Amino acid sequence: MFARSRFALPLLLCLTLCAIVLVTLDDYGLTWDEPVYGRSGHTHFLWFRHLSLSRSSIDGYWRDGSEHPPLGTLVGGFTEDVLHDRLGLVERYKAFRVQTLLYVFILNFALFLWVSECWGRATAFVAVLSFFFLPRAFFHAHLGALDYPMTALWVVTAYAFWKGLTAPRWMLAASVLLGLALLTKVNAFFLWTLLLAWFAVWFRADLWRLLRGRFRGCLSEHARVVRSLAALLLVPPAVFFIGWPWLWPHPLSRTWNYLAWASAHEQHPVYYMGKTWTCPPWHYAFVLTAVTIPLVVLIPLLVGLLRLPRTTHRAAAAFLLLNALVPIAVIAFLSSCAYDGERLWLPAFPFLCALSAVGVCELYRLAERVKAQAAFVAVCGALFAASIYFSVVRYHPFEASYFNEIVGGVDGAAARGFETEYWEAPCLAVLPWLNAHSESTFWIPIDSRMMGLYQIAGRLAPSVRGADRANADYLVLLIRQGMINPDPELWEIYTHQKPVYAVRVLNTPLVGVYDMKAARRRRTAGGQAREAY
């Protein structure tokens, strides 16, 4: 009986995807945000052990990391406490990362159910695999950060809301899930706006009658709409406040401070189209989306968009499209934060992949007309398998540097002035070289704290020592061009000096180790030449 259940296939598929993530969890180096989130999650989870409601206890345990809501860090604090502190099974940062398996499962499970209800299981299978093996999404699925959890909760909330349009109990579930999304990242406020707008359009006739009747004599007739709207308006903020103890002593002022911080977040320099931007232009998010999706997904996506007016379940397809566009449009037109590539609008990608799967479904129907279904399935399967190899396997574990064939892959993207690395994960691959040269000193200008974290984790020898730029033997440089360019010395070294060691993906360096003695000799010789001139 279970084998015939509608849940058997997605359950087996999602457990398989989680197993893939678990097996490859160690392959990725620490990113900038993970140590911060790990520390916050640890202290937040400790509060639940003591469970003191005093203001001093709340301030002591919840001040750290108060710039973000706690759900994403708290779940990681739980997995870290169980797997590292109590059982000692894995090192600390990997234990914190295990939380991502939960989000991988619920995201892909909800995506499968949603697409299968509208376009069938085959289309759902394509949608899930397209997203899971999307190179940059595959990278984020391994991190103890907030972007993948936010993406998962966006998808699950949108799915529950869609079902809630016809089943009120689902609208209550969507409202609770929206509260959990608010407890994860500020992006959820835009999801809330989207859902309220769609609700107003979907039930516009009911709401108009309620307004014209001034809520007298028609409440019983429209009770379902009223209850759903009340849940959507009242439940999410209630879950948000109840789930974040930091807000309890001063709910209004601390919520205001959180929103003010999020709206004025520090902007990091971005290297885009051969220029370093303090804030990149509006098309940054749209272009990065187009050049980081493999063509095997991008081309059917365009077909799906073109066929949208004629596809079955047009309302569902339009809702998917709206969910795909909002995260990108927020970064393009509303947000002061536009950096780190795709991760800030990662919630758009599951919906884009779902629309791509709809495009595959439309192409299959065309193949049916010419009696070429078997050939179509064989060709699509071969192309998809090849795409996984060339975009995930070949890039692994540097999928965050993936670019598609439109710009010539990562090598072409580097030549065309795109930022090829942004979050420091490739530094893990340089540790063996540092251990082999531990008698030397190293200058790590972009984020030197990672050296200490790797030493604590036992991956970097304690004898490896840091130094400043004037005294270091070697420079260890993350090739994030936007942060290198403002420093003339770093840019000179990066553009004119060959590294003694480099971590590369294909032919593009992601981390370079440079001889600082040679750099100083070069600088001295250049100064003497200018002086002589």
Task: Classify residue 325: in a domain, yes or no.
Answer: no
> Shortest CA distance to 79 belongs to which of 101, 108, 56, 104?
101
Asked whether residue 533 carries a pLDDT value surpassing 60, the answer given is: no
Q: 């099974």: which residue's tokens?
A: 89
Task: Classify residue 166: in a domain, yes or no.
Answer: no
Going by the DSSP 8-state scheme, the letter that residue 337 receives in this structure is: -
Quick one: CA torsion of 181, 183, 187, 189, rounded to 10 degrees? 80
Number of residues in the chain: 533
pLDDT band at 336 (very low <50, low <70, confident <90, very high): low
Question: According to the model, what pLDDT value does residue 217 have?
Answer: 53
First to last CA, the chain: 87
Q: Report the relative pairing of strands 501-505 and 270-272 from DSSP bridges.
A: unpaired
pLDDT band at 156 (very low <50, low <70, confident <90, very high): very high
> Shortest CA distance to 112 belongs to which of 103, 122, 98?
122
Side-chain-facing half-sphere of 276: CA atoms under 13 Å: 13
> Shortest CA distance to 272 belongs to which of 284, 285, 282, 260?
284
**How high does pLDDT run on average in the chain?**
91
Asked whether residue 30 carries a pLDDT value surpassing 90, the answer given is: yes
Which stretch of 244-258, 263-277, 469-483 has the lowest confidence by average pLDDT?
263-277
| Partners of residue 503 on adjacent β-strands | 511
pLDDT digits (tens, 9 = 90+) for 218-235: 555 578 888 999 999 999
Report how far residue 408's alpha carbon sits from residue 404's, in angstroms, rounded to the nearest whole number: 6
pLDDT band at 214 (very low <50, low <70, confident <90, very high): low
Report how far residue 407's alpha carbon sits from residue 506's, in angstroms, rounded to the nearest whole number: 15
Task: Classify residue 208: in a domain, yes or no.
Answer: no
Question: According to the model, what pLDDT value does residue 1 have?
Answer: 41
CB-CB contact of 18 with 101 (8 Å) = yes
Going by the DSSP 8-state scheme, the letter that residue 479 receives in this structure is: -
Task: Classify residue 17: in a domain, yes or no.
Answer: no
Token readout for 350 is 């599951």
Q: Which residues of 198-218 are buried (b: 16+ CB within 10 A; e: fewer)?
A: bbeebbeebbeebeeeeeeee
| Partners of residue 508 on adjacent β-strands | 505
Asked whether residue 263 carries a pLDDT value surpassing 90, the answer given is: no
Question: According to the model, what pLDDT value does residue 445 have?
Answer: 86
Peptide bond into 168 cis (omega under 30): no
Q: Which of the listed ranges 53-67, 259-273, 325-339, 409-423 does the model predict with the highest average pLDDT?
A: 409-423
Report how far residue 496's alpha carbon sits from residue 519's, in angstroms, rounded to the nearest whole number: 10
Question: According to the model, what pLDDT value does residue 2 have?
Answer: 43
Report how far residue 308's alpha carbon sits from residue 326's, in angstroms, rounded to the nearest whole number: 18
pLDDT band at 98 (very low <50, low <70, confident <90, very high): very high
pLDDT digits (tens, 9 = 90+) for 437-459: 999 999 998 777 788 889 988 89
> Shortest CA distance to 31 belongs to which of 340, 337, 345?
340
Cβ neighbours, 10 Å, residue 334: 10
> Shortest CA distance to 333 belongs to which of 271, 288, 279?
279
pLDDT band at 3 (very low <50, low <70, confident <90, very high): very low
> Shortest CA distance to 38 belongs to which of 95, 105, 104?
95
Task: Classify residue 359: in a domain, yes or no.
Answer: no
Q: Report the relative pairing of strands 508-515 and 474-478 from DSSP bridges.
A: antiparallel
Report how far residue 310's alpha carbon sits from residue 313's, in angstroms, rounded to the nearest whole number: 9
Task: Classify residue 465: in a domain, yes or no.
Answer: yes
Residue bearing the bigger pLDDT, 356 or 446: 356
Peptide bond into 397 cis (omega under 30): yes
The stretches of 437-515 forming alpha helices (DSSP H) are 449-456, 481-484, 488-496
Task: Classify residue 237: in a domain, yes or no.
Answer: no
Domains: count for the chain: 1
Tell me the residue range of the domain where 492 lies.
425-532
Cβ neighbours, 10 Å, residue 447: 17
Angle at 36 between CA 47 and CA 14, to 5 degrees: 85
Report how far residue 295's alpha carbon sits from residue 227's, in angstroms, rounded to the nearest whole number: 44
Helix axes 8-23, 100-119, angle to 10 degrees: 150
pLDDT band at 11 (very low <50, low <70, confident <90, very high): very high
pLDDT band at 392 (very low <50, low <70, confident <90, very high): very high
Q: Which residues of 473-491 are buried (b: 16+ CB within 10 A; e: fewer)?
A: ebbbbbbbbbbbbeeeebe
Angle at 110 between CA 319 and CA 345, to 5 degrees: 60
Token readout for 523 is 């600088």
- Helix, strand and coil percent figures for the chain, each rounded to 5: 65, 5, 30
Question: According to the model, what pLDDT value does residue 527 have?
Answer: 56
Prediction pTM value: 0.94
pLDDT digits (tens, 9 = 90+) for 48-92: 888 888 888 999 999 988 889 999 999 999 999 999 999 989 888
Report how far residue 384's alpha carbon sits from residue 125's, in angstroms, rounded to the nearest whole number: 12
The stretches of 250-294 forming alpha helices (DSSP H) are 251-263, 284-291
Residue 498, class by beta-carbon neighbours within 10 Å (0-12 exposed, 13-18 middle, 19+ buried)? exposed
Residue bearing the bigger pLDDT, 206 or 19: 19
**239 CA to centre of own chain:** 23
CA–CA distances in Å: residue 141 to residues 37, 84, 497: 16, 20, 35
Cβ neighbours for 408, distance < 8 A, ≥ 6 positions apart: 415, 416
Q: Nearest 5°: phi and psi at 484? A: -80, -40
CA–CA distances in Å: residue 172 to residues 1, 98, 191, 197: 30, 29, 16, 17
Q: Report the relative pairing of strands 441-443 and 465-466 from DSSP bridges.
A: parallel
Question: According to the model, what pLDDT value does residue 211 have?
Answer: 75
Asked whether residue 181 carries a pLDDT value surpassing 70, the answer given is: yes
Task: Classify residue 370: in a domain, yes or no.
Answer: no
Report how far residue 254's alpha carbon sits from residue 20's, in angstroms, rounded to the nearest whole number: 40
The stretches of 389-446 forming alpha helices (DSSP H) are 409-415, 431-436
